[in-house]
């Protein structure tokens, strides 16, 4: 705070009061806080760095083989450098388009990139995370399907996604039915049996699913649409560079978490949620949207658009209470995908996939692990079963600086491999697991 004593005196004189306390004269005396906050004393930068370094030393940086929605992908150096431009990170939401074309342009690029990955026509400016984006996808389907107040989820969606969708559904008054999986994949017959009851607005299924399995949705969209329901897909946007897209599967909405687009794992956030849809559902879509237009001189420019859906105009009649986006993370995703480009996005998936299959093959070969879902195709993540004590195995790995697979219980363990892992690291993991 830059105020000198003489500044304060001059300002108080202008205002016509004697002390700063006089500016609080209207506040009832009984609520004035007269103590000191119970927080540490002020720290200099030197002390602050030492404080955080000491905290950091209580953390363990590991060679990560865990996934379950969060992956240790590599981010090219240029991403962080460009994100550090303070014209980006100290800006407010671009309400004044004339001085916010930087933000508006990259959001337009972000929308374009996510639309390319999902195959959908429209994408919003981003949401908080994948789980909340799935909850908003649920609301979109309920708002589009008149007088149907139930949504069906496949149990093969990530646990954190199901948890959040359930919470939003419970409070908003949408019934959420989670249909159990069958052999590690969504149960088509059981889900259709629910949809055909006539009160279901839509279905949410994953690409790939929580076990890493790439499910086959042939015929799903036709069947769900035939029963007058909508289909939403929860997808890994990085994997969509190679996998069949939600649009190709016939989905009406796509959502998911942008963490896989090179974002640091950051102990759970910040990431971003994305949501895409066809033009038909556009006006039910929550959140900010950027569109192209022209200025008074005919120059191309970008602007927040379709704001008539939003809370600051519609208040309680808005499509959502969302009033921000994860703008800087949308920039992250945009720069990451631009650097990796058309071929790099495919190569990241190929390296991760080949590494994951190499690990899988070694584990099966060892005789100590067997396939949890034999024959099911996977990209960068898979589940194996073992008679060994998974907790003890993971504790041993931790001693060696490795985060092993996520323990799913009942001897099942889920491993993920990204392009950051090397053959040597995998060999070492296998040696420790099978010793």
| Residue numbers 41-80 binding other proteins by CB under 8 A | 41-43, 45, 48-49, 51-62, 64, 66, 68-70, 72, 74, 76, 78, 80
Cα–Cα distances (Å) from 236 to 3, 24, 137, 387, in that order, read 50, 52, 15, 31
In this structure, what token pair is assigned to residue 246?
A: 């939600």
Interhelix angle for 327-365 vs 423-434, to 10°? 50
Does 112 engage in binding with other proteins (CB under 8 A)? yes
Backbone dihedral angles phi then psi of residue 47, each to the nearest 5 degrees: -65, -35
Cβ neighbours of 112 (radius 10 Å):
13
Distance in Å, CB of 227 to other proteins, minimum: 23
Does 161 engage in binding with other proteins (CB under 8 A)? yes
Distance in Å, CB of 325 to other proteins, minimum: 5
Does 147 engage in binding with other proteins (CB under 8 A)? no
Give the span between the Cα atoms of 70 and 131, in whole angstroms.
12
Does 278 engage in binding with other proteins (CB under 8 A)? no
Does 410 engage in binding with other proteins (CB under 8 A)? no
Which residue do the tokens 């992250």 mark? Answer: 332
With respect to other proteins, which residue has the nearer C-beta, 388 or 403?
Answer: 403
Residues in contact with other proteins, total (CB under 8 A)? 202
Which of 5, 86, 387, 392 touches other proteins by CB under 8 A?
86
- Find out whether 389 and 411 touch, Cβ atoms under 8 Å: no
In this structure, what token pair is assigned to residue 12?
A: 């108080």
Which residue, 319, 234, 304, 321, is CA-closest to 276?
234
For 329-393, where are the E strands, in sequence order?
369-371, 381-386
For the chain, the first-to-last Cα distance in angstroms comes to 60
With respect to other proteins, which residue has the nearer C-beta, 22 or 193?
Answer: 22
Give the span between the Cα atoms of 357 and 355, in whole angstroms.
5
Does 284 engage in binding with other proteins (CB under 8 A)? no
SS3 of 1, please? coil
| Residue numbers 285-314 binding other proteins by CB under 8 A | 288-297, 299-301, 303, 305-308, 310-314
Stretch touching other proteins by CB under 8 A, among 142-150, 187-195, 225-233, 419-427:
419-427
Task: Kindly write down the DSSP assignment for every residue of 170-217, as one continuous string.
Answer: HHHT-EEEEEPPBTTB--HHHHHHHHTTTTEEEEEEEES-TTSB----
Does 260 engage in binding with other proteins (CB under 8 A)? no
Site string for other proteins, 174-203 (x = CB under 8 A): ------------------------------
Which of 111, 144, 238, 386 touches other proteins by CB under 8 A?
111
Which pairing describes strands 253-257 and 412-416: parallel, antiparallel, or unpaired? unpaired
Longest dimension (CA), the chain: 84
Distance in Å, CB of 166 to other proteins, minimum: 6
Interhelix angle for 423-434 vs 390-399, to 10°? 130
Does 170 engage in binding with other proteins (CB under 8 A)? yes
Which of 138, 153, 157, 164 touches other proteins by CB under 8 A?
164
Which of 180, 197, 266, 365 touches other proteins by CB under 8 A?
266
Distance in Å, CB of 150 to other proteins, minimum: 15
Which of 73, 109, 253, 390 touches other proteins by CB under 8 A?
109
Does 257 engage in binding with other proteins (CB under 8 A)? yes
| Residue numbers 380-399 binding other proteins by CB under 8 A | 394-395, 398
Backbone dihedral angles phi then psi of residue 385, each to the nearest 5 degrees: -115, 150
**Which 3-state string (H, E, C) describes 311-330?**
HHHHHHHCCCCCCCCCHHHH
Stretch touching other proteins by CB under 8 A, among 102-110, 149-157, 180-188, 225-233:
102-110
| Residue numbers 329-358 binding other proteins by CB under 8 A | 329, 331, 334-335, 337-345, 347-351, 353-358
Which of 23, 180, 365, 370 touches other proteins by CB under 8 A?
23
Distance in Å, CB of 368 to other proteins, minimum: 21
| Residue numbers 196-255 binding other proteins by CB under 8 A | 214, 216, 218, 240-245, 248
233 beta partners: 205, 254
């Amino acid at each position: 705070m830059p105020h000198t004593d003489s500044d304060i005196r001059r300002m108080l004189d202008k205002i016509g009061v004697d002390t700063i306390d006089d500016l609080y004269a209207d506040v009832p005396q009984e609520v004035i806080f007269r103590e000191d906050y119970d927080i540490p004393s002020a720290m200099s930068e030197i002390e602050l760095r030492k404080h955080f370094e000491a905290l950091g030393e209580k953390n363990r940086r590991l060679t990560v083989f865990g996934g379950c929605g969060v992956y240790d992908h590599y981010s090219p150096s240029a991403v962080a450098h460009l994100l550090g431009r303070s014209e980006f990170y100290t800006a407010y939401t671009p309400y004044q388009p004339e001085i916010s074309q930087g933000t508006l342009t990259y959001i337009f690029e972000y929308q374009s990139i996510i639309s390319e990955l999902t195959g959908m026509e429209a994408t919003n400016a981003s949401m908080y995370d994948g789980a909340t984006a799935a909850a908003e996808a649920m609301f979109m389907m309920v708002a589009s399907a008149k007088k149907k107040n139930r949504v069906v989820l496949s149990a093969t969606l990530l646990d954190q996604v199901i948890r959040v969708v359930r919470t939003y559904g419970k409070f908003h008054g949408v019934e959420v039915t989670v249909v159990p999986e069958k052999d590690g994949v969504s149960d088509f017959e059981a889900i259709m049996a629910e949809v055909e009851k006539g009160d279901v607005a839509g279905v949410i299924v994953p690409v790939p699913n929580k076990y890493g399995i790439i499910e086959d949705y042939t015929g799903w969209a036709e069947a769900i649409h035939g029963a007058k329901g909508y289909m939403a897909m929860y997808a890994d946007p990085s994997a969509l560079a190679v996998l069949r897209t939600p649009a190709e599967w016939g989905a009406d909405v796509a959502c998911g978490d942008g963490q896989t687009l090179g974002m640091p794992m950051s102990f759970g956030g910040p990431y971003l949620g994305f949501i895409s849809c066809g033009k038909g559902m556009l006006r039910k879509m929550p959140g900010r949207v950027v569109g192209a237009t022209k200025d008074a001189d005919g120059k191309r420019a970008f602007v927040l658009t379709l704001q008539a859906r939003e809370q600051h105009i519609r208040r309680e009649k808005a499509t959502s209470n969302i009033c921000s986006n994860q703008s800087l993370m949308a920039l992250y995703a945009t720069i990451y995908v631009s650097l990796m480009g058309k071929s790099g996005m495919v190569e990241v998936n190929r390296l991760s996939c080949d590494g994951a299959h190499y690990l899988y093959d070694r584990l099966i070969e060892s005789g100590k692990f067997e396939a949890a879902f034999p024959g099911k195709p996977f990209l960068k993540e898979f589940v194996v079963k073992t008679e060994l004590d998974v907790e003890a195995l993971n504790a041993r790995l931790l001693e060696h600086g490795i985060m092993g697979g996520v323990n799913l219980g009942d001897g099942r363990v889920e491993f993920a491999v990204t392009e950051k892992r090397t053959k040597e690291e995998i060999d070492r993991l296998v040696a420790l697991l099978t010793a």
